[in-house]
Structure 1
Amino acid sequence: MKKLLLCVFTGTFLVACGGSSSTDDNIQTGPLDPSKIHDVVPYVNYNNAPGIIDNINFDGQQNGGYTSAMFNSDFNNEWGNVSGEANIIDRNGSKQLAVTHPKGYYKKGISGGKHLNEFNELYFSYQITFGKDYDFSMGGKMPGLAGLNPNVSAKPDGCKTIGEDEGFSLRSMFRENGRAIGYFYHQDKTKSCGDEIDYQHEGKNFSFKREKTYLIEQYVKINDANQANGIVTIYVNGFKVLERTNMTFSENGIYAINYQYTQLWHGGNSSSWAVDRDSTAYLDDFTLSTQPLSYTK
């Protein structure tokens, strides 16, 4: 995706393109135009950006089929599978993972999870492009950070009650026509499944567009024990679209951020979530970091 990207992140500055510059690198430190959220993707130098803990791209892969074994090896998954069709392809100057959800099916894509070292705060980002014929259908799951209680076997997902100190998960979803939401299991959730919190941009619900590239960056800070002050924010192409600062992730501080979901599939648990045509999305640069990569603090 590197050649698509129109803005540069250097040191502590997010570089906006298209203006005059006083430096050799054509750096302009003014804010981006909010109306360009669908068109301007912050460029990140994943080799040198400060704070990167882990970056998974596909530049070392050969073109062709991408198997569950490759998925689990690349991501160091505890568990994972490729249930749809997945391929490594050349696209816009780099190798990308193309995930195709087959017509007439749901829950066909990629899904995996892995344990992380425990962090009190962490940034997680990735890039995604929904293809020109992508069927958003009723919706589907997207990646996110989580925290698992090592003494509880059940994971915080799957439309079940999350009791005190039984973990949290902070995935996102696309919904009908690309409407984007945070899909959160946490100690104070109000729904039988995850709480759904709309992405918002310029005062309106935000929706993904087809054939546009999005750098999605999630920040999570664990709450203090017995306090509802946990934080989750989500940025899309450098713009904040969701923020909650009153979350309870671990009531008594038994665990912190220690898990990563890497998912892209439709559902839901019924055929009503199935796609009506083959639908492909393109993924790249899954990154964990201790500093933001797409925006400045």
Structure 2
Amino acid sequence: MDVEVKKVKGCSATKVSYITHGCLTMDRLHLLPVPSFKSGFTTCALINVPAIEHVPLEDPSLGVHKITSRTNHPLVTPPSTTAHSLVDQETGANTLALSDSSTDPKQAWEALYPRGSINPSGKIPGGFGFYLAGPKDFADKLTIEGGATHVVLSYRMMLQHDWEWVKGGKLPGIFGGEGDTSYSCTGGQQQHRCQCFNIRPMWRANGQGELYTYLPLLDSNRDRLSAVPPYSKQNPDYGMSVGRGAFSFDAAVGNWISLAFRVKLNEIGQEDGQLELFVEGKSVIHAVGLVFRTSNTSRIKGAHFQTFFGGHTEDWASPKDQRAWFTDVTGAVVG
């Protein structure tokens, strides 16, 4: 059904399409920000649409594998959302708004970032890491010959209410490539870069958001990603920072936000791949003319569900024990 939603003063009223589930509502476009799709899955109980399979937020059901050693991702009851401030766009005044907790999830994976932790391989391991293929039917559609080349993967996340950003850190994203080489595009790897891709969001100082990408090392990819506003650059040793400042993670402090990744693979021999990031249903980063693969055996493989502070040096480390929560994992085959 359509529901009239009044925005804060200074913004226009809008209509938002909601999916109803009992007395609860949630905008399905936050997790599935495409007009149509062929099939998919979700762990979100609030989404009830045709062709979407409901599965539990559990490792076996979601094809979790290659779990990073010395880390874990316990399934917990996350804390309630908190009050947050709204800024009047005309006057600049701050007002306190109570968050609507009606769509708060009942379960979530918890990431712990201990004080002094910088990444899972550091002296003090922090966060967690694993790969997620999705339920068997979804995973099969991705990996079979001639399989899906256009996919959306999404989730919701929340940071603890007194979160401290420091210099930055990584969050879960999407990956793919040729066979086991698809796991090679991370951690500064330079080999096999034409046989894999890895795209993860990253928070920077003060909550600035960006995409941190590993794509085939081609001039065309560098040029097109470098053109993404407001700021993008090729890092000398690691991945490429894309669209830094295009969005902020501030809203995730004490509240749930959705992140959705849309990847459309290029045709072999063509520069026509597409990459798009949606935050709360809004497209914030969009790049076209990309090359994700140079072989038909390269596939979208699923989610690289990794998060940590860093960076690889101590000045990136979490200044205290901090926690984040992740839930409502969703995937859809678009084409």
Q: Same fold (TM over 0.5)?
A: yes
- 1:228, 1:249 → 2: CA distance? 9
The amino acid that maps onto 1:113 is Y
- 1:215, 1:72 → 2: CA distance? 21
- 2:311, 2:269 → 1: CA distance? 33
Is the deviation greater in 230-239 or in 253-262? 253-262
Gapped regions of structure 2 (runs ≥ 5): 8-12, 18-24, 47-56, 81-100, 120-125, 134-138, 223-233
Name the counterpart of 2:28: 44
Name the counterpart of 1:105: 117
Per-residue deviation at 1:52? Answer: 5.2
1:1-297 maps to which residues of 2 (within 5 A)?
Answer: 17-18=5-6, 30=15, 43-44=27-28, 53-56=40-43, 72-73=59-60, 75-81=62-68, 83=71, 86=74, 88-90=76-78, 91=80, 92=101, 93=104, 94-107=106-119, 108-115=126-133, 116=139, 117-118=142-143, 119-150=148-179, 152=181, 155-163=184-192, 165-187=194-216, 188=218, 189=222, 190-191=234-235, 192-198=237-243, 205-209=246-250, 210-290=253-333
Is the 1:84–1:102 Cα contact (8 Å) retained in structure 2? no
Residues 154 and 98 of structure 1, relative CA distance in 2, 3 Å threshold? closer
Q: Secondary structure at the match of 1:173?
A: strand
Is the 2:195–2:294 Cα contact (8 Å) retained in structure 1? no
Residues 58 and 44 of structure 1, relative CA distance in 2, 3 Å threshold? closer
Residues 138 and 84 of structure 1, relative CA distance in 2, 3 Å threshold? farther
Is the 2:207–2:248 Cα contact (8 Å) retained in structure 1? yes
Residues 228 and 16 of structure 1, relative CA distance in 2, 3 Å threshold? farther
| Identical aligned residues as a percent | 19
Per-residue deviation at 1:76? Answer: 2.1
The amino acid that maps onto 1:53 is G
**Greater helix share, structure number:** 2
Is the 2:156–2:257 Cα contact (8 Å) retained in structure 1? yes
- 1:228, 1:142 → 2: CA distance? 27
- 1:102, 1:197 → 2: CA distance? 28
The amino acid that maps onto 2:287 is R
- 1:147, 1:85 → 2: CA distance? 22
- 1:290, 1:73 → 2: CA distance? 20
RMSD value over aligned CA atoms?
A: 3.3
Number of residue pairs aligned between Structure 1 and Structure 2:
248
- 2:281, 2:192 → 1: CA distance? 34
